[in-house]
Amino acid sequence: MVYIAVLFGVFFGDLIIKRQAEQKIGMGEEYPILNGRFIIRKLHNDGLAFGRLSDYPRLIKWGNLGMLGSISLYFIWLLMHPGQRLKKVGLGMVIGGGLSNEADRINAGYVTDYVSIQSRFEKIRRIVFNISDFFIFIGSILYILGSFKRNTGK
């Protein structure tokens, strides 16, 4: 099923890239890519997005596991019904990305982030994310768009 493939593609793709980042990029090193539009650099994030709640690792770990479990159950239910393709693709992306980040938290105690957007604005330039974060964001948008679309069963 294509939706399961999306989930596993995001999960394993990001884990492979994170492993490369851990092995090949030193802390503080920066490498511009795509004509300087993006910067590859490594950051260990022991919190949620932007390092929030980093003082509460147990809350983050168990809260994320609970949320991923709930979303996964809904995803399984959704897979058993026809139509709603955008929702299914979106949830596959969200779950794959969430599981990849959660695997980092469980195994290392932090999430490895490795990409920044080059910008003249310091706040944007300081944001470091990973491919899972990108897919969680895009998957959420696809799910929301799918919620507005009338389900025709196709």
Query: Does the annotation count 104 as an active-site position?
Result: no
Tell me how crowded residue 78 is: count the other CB atoms within 10 A of its CB. 17
> What b/e sequence results for 54-74 when a residue is b if at least 16 CB atoms lie within 10 Å of its CB, and e otherwise?
eeeeeebeeebeeebeeebee
Q: In what order do the strands lie in the sheet with 31-33?
A: 31-33, 38-45, 111-117
C-alpha dist (Å) from residue 130 to 58, 59, 89, 91: 22, 22, 19, 18
Q: Which amino acid is at 131?
A: I
Query: Does the annotation count 46 as an active-site position?
Result: no
**Which residue in the list 46, 55, 104, 133 is annotated as catalytic?**
133
**Which residue in the list 46, 55, 104, 113 is annotated as catalytic?**
113
In this structure, the chain runs to a length of 154
d(CA 139, CA 35): 27
Catalytically annotated residues: 113, 133
